[in-house]
Amino acid sequence: MTAATGTEVSTDRPIGRGWIGFTTVALWAIFLQSVTAGRIFSGDDWARTAHRTTAGLLVLVTLAAGLAALVVLRERTAGRRFAVVLLALAACLVVQHRLGTAAADGEDTLWLHIPFGVAIIAFAARANGLARRGSSPSGAAT
């Protein structure tokens, strides 16, 4: 029951298809970071700017989405878990951004930056899977 309206709120509503779209786009954007990383290693100057800019945008957008999910999905089945996963993904992206910035500044962090990027792709896929399960009409993940 909500305090504002005094009406019963169903907690078994799905979290919504928009979140599937968001996590799918985020997953692809994170994956495509490996393409720009490869272009950096190939010597393309534009790739470093694209990689750094995309990384910063991913951090901001994922953090905003996680905070929005905390508010919007707080009473839905799997909504809070989904929001926490998005916030954890944003935290991982912050760490990844710092590792990449340190590597670009000449510090020896590339050996961490690359495998952590692979792990983040897997984590983003997990967030996408959680959104898909949470949006199914047969019931959300718990």
Q: Please say whether the beta carbons of 16 and 83 come within 8 A.
A: no
Q: Is the pLDDT of residue 35 over 60?
A: yes
Q: Is the pLDDT of residue 140 over 90?
A: no
Residue 77 lies in a domain: yes
Instruction: Please state the pTM of the whole predicted model.
Output: 0.85
Residue 111 lies in a domain: yes
Identify the band that residue 75 occupies on the pLDDT scale cut at 50, 70 and 90: confident
Q: Is the pLDDT of residue 40 over 50?
A: yes
Residue 139 lies in a domain: no
Q: Is the pLDDT of residue 86 over 90?
A: yes
Residue 70 lies in a domain: yes
Domain encompassing residue 29? 17-134
Does residue 79 sit in helix, strand or coil?
A: helix
Q: Is the pLDDT of residue 81 over 80?
A: yes
Lowest mean pLDDT among 9-13, 15-19, 35-39, 120-124: 9-13
* Cα gap 23→62, rounded to integer Å: 9
Does residue 44 sit in helix, strand or coil?
A: coil
What is the tally of structural domains in the chain?
A: 1
Using CA atoms, how far residue 64 sits from 2, 25, 83, 87, 141, in Å, is: 24, 15, 10, 9, 23
Residue 12 lies in a domain: no
* Cα gap 127→115, rounded to integer Å: 19
